[in-house]
């Protein structure tokens, strides 16, 4: 008699967002393993700020693995304006997911942190161990403290209950299915939308800030592939940074010019220096990733931006904006 293989249920919270959609497309393309069933949640399946809704979701799907992406996220300006909401909503969501993962005996929980929650005054490059070494930049302290507590609690759940919870630290993420809102979105989708409008209305393309800050960007498909690898093969409560190499850091001006090229925008490009720049840089080291996956090849910024612009143009009517 053949032994039946145990079926894993991988539940992705925030499955309708930028990273969640990239994971779904990656799994559809490459195929789930024969022992995995994938479930992608959006806020329509329940409000993860509510303990009752969260328990009902765990009861319904009985996940063995959880990739936890759902969060209240936004760009610099939204973070500055709503620190209370960024803190409270993320704390509620994360507490519900972690505690239900413990109660429902989830074998692996992978949550998402961010490089923008690291200490403001620090040395570079930032490594995973420096997360709690000082206060975050004041612009996003609500979001940052809520996210930092995921790491604290991953260690506490491992010590007290033996849970296999870990976290990923991505740098700035971009790609198809992003939120292209100019007011509330992140830098690349915001620039793509602005450049689109400048081209359509025959106006200058105005970039907020000086264009000098430096950032590392990771293409959503690359992050999806690496996240699935973390879920299957990285078993340590300590976070792991998933980022391009330090040499791949680019200025906001470089990014804006890549958008101009991809959009074939021929008008004037201006920088509005009356707008805040945020942190000058937050270079992250990916030594841990490189020690485990030395040969991984990231998508180039030029190709990633071209694919994001092509997606935005093809899906303009339905894109989040």
Q: How far is the CB of 264 from ligand NDP (least distance, A)?
A: 25
Catalytic residue among 143, 157, 174, 196: 143
Q: How far is the CB of 107 from ligand NDP (least distance, A)?
A: 21
Instruction: Supply the minimum distance, in Å, between the C-beta of residue 160 and ligand NDP.
Output: 24
Half-sphere exposure of 101 (CA within 13 A, CB side): 33
Nearest residue (beta carbon) to ligand NDP: 17
Q: Please, which residue, 173 or 192, has the CB nearer to ligand NDP?
A: 173
* CB-based burial, 194-233: b 16+ in 10 Å, e otherwise: bbbebbeeeeebebbbbbebbbbbbbbbbbbbbbbbbbee
The pair of structure tokens assigned to 209 is 């800030």
The least CB distance from residue 103 to ligand NDP, in Å, is 18
Tokens of 165: 């919870």
- Is residue 257 within 8 A of residue 205, CB to CB? The reply is no
The two structure tokens encoding residue 57 = 């979701």
Distance CA 279, CA 116 (A): 9
Question: Residue 49 gets which letter from DSSP?
Answer: T
Q: Computed from CA positions of residues 68, 74, 78, 80, in that sequence, does the dihedral angle turn out positive or negative?
A: positive
Q: How far is CA 83 from CA 21, 117, 135, in A?
A: 27, 13, 15
Least distance between ligand NDP and beta carbon 116 (Å): 7
How many Cβ atoms are within 10 Å of 25's Cβ, its own excluded? 16
Applying CB under 6 A, which residues contact ligand NDP? 14-20, 42-44, 47-49, 69-73, 93, 112, 114, 170, 172-173, 179, 186
Closest CB to ligand NDP among residues 48, 76:
48
Q: How far is the CB of 248 from ligand NDP (least distance, A)?
A: 16
When the beta carbons of 25 and 199 are compared against ligand NDP, the nearer one is: 25
Q: Which is nearer to ligand NDP, 186 or 193 (CB)?
A: 186
Q: State yes or no: is 61 an active-site residue.
A: no
In terms of CB distance, is 259 or 265 closer to ligand NDP?
A: 259
Residue pair 207/273 in contact (Cβ under 8 Å)? The answer is no
CB 12 within 8 A of CB 110: no
Q: How many helices (H) and strands (E) are present in the chain, helices listed first?
A: 10, 12
d(CA 198, CA 309) in angstroms, rounded, equals 14
Instruction: Tell the smallest beta-carbon distance from residue 270 to ligand NDP (Å).
Output: 25
Compute the C-alpha angle 131/133/136, nearest 5°: 70
Residue given tokens 């699935």 in the structure block = 228
Taking the least distance from each CB to ligand NDP, the nearer of 187 and 257 is 187
Residue with Cβ nearer ligand NDP (15 or 190):
15
Catalytic annotation, residues: 143
């Amino acid at each position: 008699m053949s032994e039946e293989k145990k079926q894993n249920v991988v539940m992705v919270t925030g499955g309708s967002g930028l990273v969640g959609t990239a994971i779904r497309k990656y799994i559809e393309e490459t195929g789930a393993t024969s022992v995995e069933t994938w479930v992608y949640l959006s806020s329509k399946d329940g409000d993860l700020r509510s303990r009752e809704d969260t328990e009902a979701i765990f009861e319904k799907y009985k996940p063995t693995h959880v990739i936890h992406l759902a969060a209240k996220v936004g760009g610099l300006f939204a973070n500055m304006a709503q620190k209370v909401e960024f803190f409270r909503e993320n704390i509620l969501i994360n507490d519900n997911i972690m505690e239900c993962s413990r109660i429902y005996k989830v074998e692996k929980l992978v949550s998402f942190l961010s490089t923008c929650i690291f200490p403001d005054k620090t040395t570079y490059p930032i490594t995973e161990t420096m997360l709690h070494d000082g206060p975050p930049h004041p612009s996003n302290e609500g979001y940052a403290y809520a996210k930092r507590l995921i790491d604290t609690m991953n260690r506490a759940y491992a010590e007290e209950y033996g849970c296999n919870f870990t976290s990923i630290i991505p740098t700035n993420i971009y790609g198809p299915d992003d939120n292209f809102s100019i007011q509330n979105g992140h830098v690349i989708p915001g620039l793509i939308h602005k450049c689109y409008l400048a081209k359509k209305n025959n106006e200058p393309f105005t970039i907020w800030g000086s264009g000098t800050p430096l950032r590392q960007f990771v293409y959503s498909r690359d992050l999806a592939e690496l996240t699935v690898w973390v879920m299957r093969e990285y078993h340590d409560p300590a976070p792991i940074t998933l980022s391009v190499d330090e040499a791949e850091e680019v200025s906001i001006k470089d990014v804006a010019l890549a958008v101009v090229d991809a959009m074939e925008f021929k008008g004037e490009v201006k920088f509005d220096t009356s707008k805040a720049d945020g942190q000058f840089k937050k270079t992250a080291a990916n030594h841990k990733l490189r020690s485990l996956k030395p040969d991984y090849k990231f998508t180039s910024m030029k190709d990633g931006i071209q694919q994001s612009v092509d997606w935005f143009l093809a899906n303009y009517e339905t894109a989040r904006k």
